[in-house]
Amino acid sequence: MTQLSPGLSPERWLYQLFSSRAACEGWVIRRQTRDVERLVRRTQFETELARRGFHAVENGGQIVIFCNQEPVRVIR
């Protein structure tokens, strides 16, 4: 089971995720669904996505986060 390191709170994990170079430059990042659910709770994660105006999709145990406010269109 994945655990947070002693000094890493869920809020800090989210901060590190969304302050990464990829996130700051509007790129795409991905994380395992189980890590999101274990480390920060899905509701807290989704709240942070909404606050930032970001979108995410989930497939095959992965969450793909679009770190910009552009519309997302599923092609197929």
* Tens-place pLDDT, residues 5-62: 667 899 999 999 999 999 999 999 999 999 999 999 999 999 999 999 999 999 999 9
Which long-range contacts link 67-73 to residues 24+ away (Cβ below 8 Å)? 67/18, 67/22, 67/23, 67/24, 67/25, 67/26, 67/27, 67/28, 67/29, 68/26
3 is a domain residue: no
16 is a domain residue: yes
45 is a domain residue: yes
Q: Distance between CA atoms of 35 and 70, rounded to whole angstroms? A: 25
Which pLDDT belongs to residue 2? 52
Q: Is the pLDDT of residue 64 over 90?
A: yes
* Number of structural domains in the chain: 1
5 is a domain residue: no
33 is a domain residue: yes
Task: Find the length of the chain.
Answer: 76
Which pLDDT belongs to residue 40? 95
Helix H or strand E segment including 52: helix 42-52
Domain containing 31 equals 10-66
Which pLDDT belongs to residue 8? 83
Q: Is the pLDDT of residue 1 over 50?
A: no
